[in-house]
A and B are shown apart, each in its own frame.
Chain A
Amino acid sequence: DQQVKQNSPSLSVQEGRISILNCDYTNSMFDYFLWYKKYPAEGPTFLISISSIKDKNEDGRFTVFLNKSAKHLSLHIVPSQPGDSAVYFCAAKVIQGAQKLVFGQGTRLTINP
Chain B
Amino acid sequence: NAGVMQNPRHLVRRRGQEARLRCSPMKGHSHVYWYRQLPEEGLKFMVYLQKENIIDESGMPKERFSAEFPKEGPSILRIQQVVRGDSAAYFCASSRKAGTSGYTDTQYFGPGTRLTVL
Residues of A that sit less than 8 Å from B by CB: 4, 6, 32, 34, 36, 41-46, 49, 51, 89, 91, 93, 95-96, 98-106
Contacts and interface: CB of A to CB of B under 8 A. Distances in A.
A32 B98 CA distance: 13
Contacts of B56: 98-100
Nearest to B31: A99
Interface residues of B, number: 34
B4 interface: yes
Interface stretch (B11-19, B42-50, B63-71, B73-81): B42-50
Interface string B22-51: 000000000101010000111111001000
Contact of B104 (A41, A45, A95): A95
A106 B55 CA distance: 27
Given A89-B42, A100-B48, A100-B59, A43 B112 contact: yes
Nearest to A103: B42
A42 B111 contact: yes
B101 A96 contact: yes
